[in-house]
Chains A and B, each alone.
Chain A
Amino acid sequence: MSRVDLKVSLSRRQFPVTGTRQLAYVLIEAAPSQAMSAVQMPLNLSLVLDKSGSMEGQKIADLRTAAKLAIDQLAPEDYVSLITFDDTATVAFPSQQAADKKALKATVERIRDGGGTHISFGISKGLIELEKMQAPARVSRMILLTDGETFGDEEGCRELAKQAGDAGIPISAFGLGEDWIEELLDDIADASGGSSDYIDEPEKIADAFQRTVATVQAAVVQNAKLILRLAAGVSPRAIWRVTPMISRLSAQHLSDRDVQAALGELSKGTGQSALVELVLPERAPGRYRIAQAEVSYDVPSAGLVNEKVRTDIVVDLTTDAAAARQHDPRVMNTVEKVTAHKLQTRALDAAAAGDIAAATRQLRAAATRLLDLGEAELAQTAQDEADRLEKEGQMSASGTKKLRYETRKLTMNIVDDVLIEEDNS
């Protein structure tokens, strides 16, 4: 019995015979199967929280609330530690089981703001606590929150994040407000195999923490890898992760015809999906297997390592023009979302490189795609930032952050397959 369900959808039911090469979009969805629904992963968690002077007021109050709610979510046998940092880092409580939640929350209540920001000190102490309780059947995670720029230890942060990644400890990095550096948090997330996100209002910290804890508890499948075994003449152009969030996956060639991308953990409910752009060679009409998709994975709760599930990716090539025009709307919707995200990423890169004209153009193109997708608010932000860029030569900090992080989440509600039941009472 497979613990992972693997589903493949193509951009068209039938592909036209074009007499040239052509591009096919393939949506590959992998999620823990029904058999895993009762499993909840034991956690090894560390909260690493910024208590610098800039956190004064509502921020620090909401942060305390969020940390307490996260503790409430834990099972009694989960391990948790709390680190606070400013110019120095303090272990508020070391790694221990969340049996006496009242005592842990009382410690949280004593967090007070003050001091500067040295993120690397916090990460370092958090790692020490996490490494104490690492075990194969326990999911490790650091939740890092900061609201400001770190002082002169950016490289230290990156190094520690890499160490965390090597040790199998992903960091979920959150930036609060507008004054933190996106590149640094993104680098920390990437190097550790974690994620990064922004929180615009302090009242939303609790929600971000709770979602993170729930996702980690649901991460019943670990170390998932997507492998594509391609037929001769077929080449992959790009592989994008599309859920839970959009990001470019780096592909690694195992051989001439085998390509692999690391997915990491698969959480119940959401799983992960990837959009693969495959360039197909010119072929006569007929049915072809253009590739095999395989996902290899571990299931720590069942002691399973390197399990595999695979499925064929088969296309029909036809000379019937009408048949070839039928798209899978769900795949095409995903393609459009990835395109919007890609344009936005290029725009931010161009703006950072000082190429205002290119950045403005890409932002306007992104706005068009976003509007088509029904994302009116994000489209407006892109439009406003394009105007601002043209007039003032730079974008706003809040607009940049919003575009950077919100376009990653465009795929969070793919509505076509999932209907939300209404409360009919």
Chain B
Amino acid sequence: MSIICPNCSTELPDDAVFCDQCGSSLSAGGLGAAPSAPAGEIACPQCGAPAIPGEAFCDSCGAPLEEPEVAAALPTAEPVPATEPSGAPSHDLIHCPSCGADNLPGSTFCSNCGIAMEQAAEAEALPEPEVTEEAEPEPAEELEPQPAAAEEPPSPTGQRRFVIRDTGAEIILPAEEGEHIIGREDPVSNVFPAVDMNPHDGEALGVSRHHAQLTIEAGIVFIQDLDSTNFTFVNRKKLAPRTPTALSNGDEVRLGKLVMTFLE
């Protein structure tokens, strides 16, 4: 009635192709070369379950996982074992410089290992160690000081504003405490928001006339969505309508498709 995962012993339905718990391939021979050694791999910080680098959420408890780290040392470009074609190789075929597999002339990517054929050919031509040496120190230097800080210098002015990502235009926000509507001015329906997005292509980008509301209270700026048609997002999270969310310096605010950074 059921099969057992050879990797983690979970009981699975007969027709399972992959283990529900650990993701192992269950087909005999499977997808073959799938690397199985979890050396250097990560564990969920919340429940400790093993995770694959690049996984966004823990498969076991759902906790968000961290970004995968760039390897300190580059893996040496180990040639992928070639699948030897049976019979004599035809003269019409070209060989992958990386794994040696036969490919049809004109192939952009190797049908076996997937490498871009041109790039593999270049890599062959270049002395390998040099690439490794040059590339190694760079990521280490770049990793630490770089994020967002360079793009969004904390402003000493204390003036609150939105900076539109695509145009760099600045919108100075009202300074006084209280409620301020963000939307699109429309004299026909008598809508005159405090922050008008018409000059910033608001209509084409899906900003509603009454899109969102800024509330400034004790010096803190809150934003809430006013049941807008195309929603309000803060740092890529969709806001529930009419639920105020505090903004802090550098937050990404999105109205429909209009992306801005909040600075103060």
Contact = CB atoms under 8 A, between A and B. Distances in A.
Contacts of A322: 142, 146-147
Interface in A281-325: 281-291, 312, 314, 319-322, 324-325
Contacts of B236: 329, 332-333
Given A17-B71, A20-B40, A235 B138 contact: no
Given A232-B80, A422-B209, A319 B34 contact: no
Interface string B34-78: 110011110000000000111111000111000111111111110
B230 A419 contact: yes
Nearest to A373: B238
Nearest to A314: B109
A277 B23 CA distance: 10
A366 to B, nearest CB: 7
What range describes how many residues of A lie at the interface?
Answer: 35 or more
Contacts, number: 213
A279 B35 CA distance: 9
B230 A281 contact: no
B114 interface: yes
A100 interface: no
25 contacts: A17-B70, A17-B71, A21-B53, A235-B25, A236-B18, A257-B31, A277-B23, A282-B75, A286-B120, A289-B116, A314-B109, A319-B74, A320-B139, A320-B142, A321-B70, A324-B70, A332-B56, A335-B57, A340-B62, A342-B62, A366-B62, A374-B231, A374-B239, A375-B240, A420-B230
B73 A19 contact: yes
B206 interface: yes
Contact of B52 (A250, A279, A416): A279
Contacts of B143: 321
Nearest to A284: B77
A250 B135 contact: no
A162 interface: no
Interface string A353-364: 000000001100
A25 interface: yes
Interface of B: 15, 17-18, 23, 25, 27, 29-35, 38-41, 52-57, 61-63, 67-77, 80, 83, 99, 108-116, 119-120, 123, 135, 138-139, 142-143, 146-147, 186, 203, 205-206, 208-209, 229-231, 236-240, 243, 256-257
Interface in A337-355: 339-340, 342-343
Contacts of A259: 17
Given A19-B75, A319-B139, A282 B54 contact: no
A355 to B, nearest CB: 14
Nearest to B240: A376
A239 B139 CA distance: 33
Interface of A: 11, 15-25, 230-238, 250-253, 256-257, 259, 277, 279-291, 312, 314, 319-322, 324-325, 329, 332-333, 335-336, 339-340, 342-343, 361-362, 365-366, 368-369, 372-376, 415-416, 419-420, 422, 424
- In this complex, the member of B57, B72, B74, B83 whose beta carbon has the largest number of chain A beta carbons within 10 angstroms is B57
A86 B72 CA distance: 69
Contacts of A21: 34-35, 41, 52-53
Given A18-B53, A19-B71, A286-B116, 9 more contacts: A20-B39, A233-B35, A250-B17, A290-B114, A362-B61, A368-B62, A375-B240, A419-B230, A424-B203
Contacts of B139: 319-321
